[in-house]
Amino acid sequence: MATTPEDIDLYTNSPDLLLELLSEVIKALDVQRKSMELDEREKQLQEIAKTIDKLEQVKVSVPDELRKLKVGLVAELAIRDEANELMEELADGLDEALQNLNSLLGRNKNNGNFSAKEPRKRKLKQPRTPNEVLRVGIITALKNMNGSGHVQQILAAMELQLAGQLLAHDLENVASGKQLVWQNNVCWERNKMVKQGILKNDSLRGIWELTEAYR
């Protein structure tokens, strides 16, 4: 929803209202992120994933209801992932706004004038390859490696898969300079897949493995 001139006037005249609104937004996101119910759902998902893995290892048919329950839990836990991303985006935006405000007030030790600092690029505001595409790429790469591979092999295989599809922001370096944005996002997606039982959580360091249910 677009901000109206009346909204801007309201918060300009009463900054405390803006701070109160921000506080409520942060609390709401934190509730989604730390929900006890979601904690229980995550534990339940991990147990179900282990059960499915064991059944398939001994060649026992997995009940459809069990698979449906797993899919439902994965969808529920996506709420937490989205809340985490939104909180990161909010933190970046607030940090930028605070830097600009301090600069305007002359509090910036490295800048004696009152001009606002040039806004930095926000990671989540720029177009990037969707996580769903990266997830499919991880699974495809691992299936072509018989279900297991080293992270560098997987990234190399995905680079070939995504050739010509990656966006400009995907090809930028992350702050540390050690990885490209798309590679960093692949590693974050891998963490989600481990929690959701798609990848094994007991693999050797640097090795990613599909659970039996996804081979």
Q: Which are the contacts of 70, defined by CB distance < 8 A and separation ≥ 6?
A: 45, 48, 49, 52, 197, 213
Rounded CA-CA distance 1/7 in Å is 12
**Cα(162)–Cα(115) distance, rounded to whole angstroms?**
42
Give the containing element (helix H, strand E) for 88.
helix 64-104
What per-residue confidence (pLDDT) applies to 117? 45
Q: Find the range with the poorest average confidence among 138-142, 145-149, 155-159, 211-215.
A: 211-215
Task: Give the up-direction half-sphere exposure of residue 18: CA atoms within 13 A in the CB hemisphere.
Answer: 12
Beta-bridge partners for 180: 173
Q: What are the sequence ranges of the domains in the chain? A: 11-122, 126-215
Predicted structure pTM score: 0.48
CATH no., domain 126-215: 1.10.10.10
Average pLDDT over residues 3-15: 73
